[in-house]
Structure 1
Amino acid sequence: MPTSPVGHPSEAAKALFSAFEQAVDAVVITGIDNQIRHFNAAAERMWGYCRDEVVGRQVSVLVPLDVREHLDGVIAAKSAMDPRTAVKGRREFRISRKDGSEAWGAFSISRVDYAGKTLYINFIRDVTDDVRDREQNALMALVAEKTDRVVMVSKRDMTIVYVNNAFTELFGYTLAEAMGKHPRDLLTGEYTDNETLERFHAQIDAEGHGQEDILVYDKDGHEIWISSTVNAGRNQAGEVEHLVAVLDDITESKQIHSLQHHVLENLANDMPVVDVIGDLCHRVEAIAPDIVSSVLHVDAEGRLHPLGGPSLPAAFAPVVDGIATGPDVGSCGAAAFLGHAVLATDIATDPRWQLYSSLPLEAGLRACWSTPIKARDGRVIGAFAFYFREVRGPTRWHQTIVDACVHLCALAIERHEARSEIARLAYFDALTGLPNRAQLRQILTGLIDKSKPRDRIAVMFLDIDHFKDVNDTLGHSIGDELLVKVTQRLCRQIRPADTLSRQGGDEFVIVLPNCDVEGAALIASRLLETLLPPMQLGAKLVPVSASIGVSIYPDNAGDIDGLLKHADAAMYQAKQAGRSTYRFFSAEMNRVSEERLAFSTALRNAIVQDALRLHYQPQVRADGRLYGVEALARWSDPVLGEVPPSKFIPLAEEYGLIELIGTWSLREACRQVAAWRRNGIDVPGVSVNLSPINFQNGDLATLVGEVIAENGLSPDMLMLEVTEGVVMSEHSTAVETMEKIRKSGVQLSMDDFGTGYSSLSRLAHLPIRELKIDRSFMRGLESEASALAITRAIIRVGQSLDMIVVAEGVETEGQRRILIELGCDVIQGFVYSPALPVPDFELWFANHETSRAAIALSEMRRQAHPERTLGVVPSVRRIP
């Protein structure tokens, strides 16, 4: 039996102490001196001490040092307690157990007088679990308040019982305003999808959790897209007691990113710009259902052209198309003109819409907000508009969408402009604007495919008489002016359905659908008559005439090549008949074909007997260093005399000799470069022209490798120039051959870029290292803004594709300076030298190197004595 705290126990005391021993709570009895007099079994379990270890010691040994001061105050205050009071309050304190662990106890004190002594009975209940639960709940509440994520707790019936600070910041509702409300009443609005909400609730009821993306509204009515994740809290019986929702604002993070992803994917898949923009508008309207969107393109002349607006009435497009931008041309025209966003909150009263308001108002559109779309160089290239069905302005969400979309639109429009420019260069003649050879073939193919048995199609081949004399005597710029004026006169005489195209040089082809022999003769006569009046070219009045050959489909040929060939043959007949006349193709022209066959025989003999020669034209870098040479075939026949390449190359192509010439040129050029290098003449590389037929030979790559190896050359010293046939070829062999050649280290060059002979739409997908600007652009470079602009564009196109740009046909110092200023990498032409035979080139090379050495010495002196400097050497792009 425990020792009595006051001596020998009475029967009553024994009963009391026995009850203390059976108590669930700890009982610690102390005297007025704070010494422990009794320590029951529950106290031993709570502290881990035996009663013998604590009885007789101060009560402060049972609590940690940091809470003793507080406990001492409580103990001191108990002396003032009324003896008749059984219990005075309840306090919690931290307990240090014997093993070093901690617990929490809630204690109350009773004062009793016994046997003339005052005792204090301390009842301590173990509340460790309660304190820990309370602390955990407090910590969770703190986390909920401090987190950036929105937290909402509701009862089973969805009425809100708690929202955190993030909820208030996002939606504007305080806890007091949200308490007891249903989220549907608080957050949903006009465009919230009720089907999504019902699916969400059904998922929570069935599975106890759910996740959905929902359009909701804040206190001010602004739209917010949220990702809502809800989990049910259940009691021990498994019944749902409350729902905890965590809401993420995904207005930007998901909807905008998803929109960007889809647009970029469409661009990567080469989707046409109208489809890209149309899809963008659809997606924008899906995430902002209260607007109707549209995108307009602004062309180089400042005119508007619809690109997308799938929800606008169909009448919008034809009305808007072609309108010039201006400060009073609606919201889009004004935004494009001014270069900043324009808002018309009420179309009916806005002065900028005065001339155009009827169309949107009839469609129920009351307001319009338009933002300019700008290219990387700052040009306004479009306008992105939001139409509203009520008088209003944009919201924060609308601004977020526009900020993302204008960049996507700019990317799509810039790609569209670049492709349009490439297509224009690929299918239209840069000088006259007429369809070129590639476009003509497409047009003629379409006419033949759609023709009926009785239909007739006339094909005219028109060649200007004595055009070479004009170029040689008056210059190429006057020759170009002549071609433009001839084009203008011819266009006035053909029918709307007819097609006038320029094939290159002074050759034109006219396609006349639904035209028989009589009709073709009438039009040919009219064309010749319109050319009879002399043309004012510069300061001279120049007479002009042309010869025309005509072939008829299907009478003379059933395919394009046959029609063009026979029209060409008929044109030569017109030349022989005295010029300024026309001839129809007939069987008598077989005699002419026989003569041309004899001509081809002479050419074949020249190839076999090694009578052809290569001349070499230097190609000079912008800094004056030799870049390389172009090997050009020349033919001097004992009977025919000097035959220009413009005559014998087409003949070689027609009679299947061009592949032999290409192979011979390849071997001879590599042999010559190797000989030069052995003799100390450092020619960096050589360009060789090959025909499309060469590239259709699957063994070409092997042949090139063998020729390089035979002459001990590095592969990168050889540049093979490709022409129209290679680029236009759909033969997989040609493309595969080009890839093999490029992988071997031999480089490929795109010749005559910009003339329309080559299909440039495939340029970026071909292994081309070099781009050659055609000589025709050089003629007007110093005097014509169009020639300058086209040359600048070609240089930018080439360098943007990491290609070296070479300008051919540079004849004057003025042209050379302009090309240097434009950043052209390499210059080739008479300004440096014509194509030269080997001895003459070697002399030119020696003189050029001597001149460069003198310039280098002068530069060294200038740097040594900068005070004598009179000018600055222009910087140039470094070619790897």
Structure 2
Amino acid sequence: MPDRLTPPLELLQLLPEAVVQTDALWTITYVNPAWHKLTGHSVEEALGRSLLDFVHPDDTGTLRSGMPVFRLRVANADYRWMRLKLQPKTDDAERVISRQGVLIEIVEITEQVLVEVRQRFLRLLETIDGVVWEAERGVGNTFLSPQVERLFGFTVEEWRADPGFWRSRVHPDDLEEALVIDNAAYNATHSYAYEMSYRLITKSGKVVWVRDLCRVDVDKDRPNRMIGLMIDVTRQKHTELELVQSDNRYALATRGSNDGIWDWDLQTDVLHVSQRFHEIVGLSGAGGLHDDGWHFLQQLIDPDDHERVQAAYRRHLSGDRPNFSVDFRARHGSGRLVWLNWRGVAHFEAGVAVRMAGSLSDLAERGSSYDALTNLPGRPLFRDRLEHAVALHRDHASQAADAPARADNTFAVLLLDLNQFKTINDTLGHHVGDQLLQQVARRLESCVRAVDLVARMSGDEFNVLLESVDHVGAIERARQMAIALAAPYQLGAHSVTCGASIGVVSSQAGFATTDDYLRAADAAMYRAKSHSLGVCVFSEEGARGKGAL
């Protein structure tokens, strides 16, 4: 749930300025109507997405570091300069749990704004968890932030006294490669950004891993100048090495299932994934370390499945589930959509989830979860989606017992059975029957929205989950399906008709479990078939003839 807002929500809704609130992982939890007027993006489009998705790629680091001025993508795909000073809210352990601020467009970047940004940058140098440096050939470091003493034990004066000091502290096993990169920068003919990782020996003799994010600036008639940020990544390196060892250890065990392995540090948002993980999502050339774990995962998950995936792991983190497993659509590197299963378990310290680990699998490779003939999800995936819909509806009902059901929490289950399928299959052959099932699947998909789910349960039986739909809307959708399925099918040289019997049960029935809804849909479908009704809506009085359409 979003943090309680101050001033009251009603007042925020009326403000002419765009108010933005995010959680600790930059996911937008609230924007007022002024957001749409300023950016052109709808409120619904923003909620649940990362704020960083709307920021120019070159400015995401600036925003994350606390700088208030950046470029934001508006609805027509252009970027405009904005100012957003986010005020963080922290828990008792001083961990950020949310951020809130007012988004303002900067028509002209005035001198006052530039001065403010510069002052903010200088203050950040005092608190940033890394060493900011600047260097020139023959001079050594022309600037070094004071964090060098806290991280590596040397004072600024000690480090800058000797132009070759940095080279003397790089671990001997990494020095040759580091010098090749360093010398290339000193002799570069154009400006560019680069990065290197190496071990550095601190004043106490301890060896730490350093990630150096650098840029070489080449200006005519002056020596090349380098600027950079040295970050202690010893903990991340150790975790990465542990993951590699774990990946090797479990390679044989996972080879049969072809699962990918992942390990997520929730405190740093660093996500480590195995090579197989990247292969499953079509990113086989990517590295195994992702500094912005949730942003990386969000880019993979189909937008229509974001909310459901987030709800699954949040229920686990809140303690409602001992582990989590969720099926979703992902955008493969080739551009096609694939169905994946993401599952794992979190490690808690003092009641707070600090780390998660688990596996990722391609449902197309799990026959019971994915139907190869119709290219539709199977029974396990459908049950998972239905269980999620039932839980959301039940949670809303328990929190607001006297309030009417919200449209985004209502749903309906449809069970369809083809009426003449066995006859067609027996007289024209199984290959014709298979073609018929494939065409039925495509017609059903054409009758639903992206948020809905069509699944093949077995044989000629299909299930449809309609989400964010009321009772009347579900009945109308079922009628459309009945009409679409009743039209003739052209199967090679044969033209056949094959209607369907459809049972419908909506969430207003108020059942407690997934099985209750499936049994009710089955009962309605059986009545539709036995009485040639076409579509039948479940009701307690169904045996007395009510509910038929």
Q: TM-score range by the shorter chain?
A: 0.3 to 0.5
Higher relative contact order (CA 8 A, sep 6+): 2
Structure index of larger Rg: 1
* TM-score under structure 1 length normalisation: 0.25
Structure richer in strand, relative to its length: 2
Structure richer in helix, relative to its length: 1
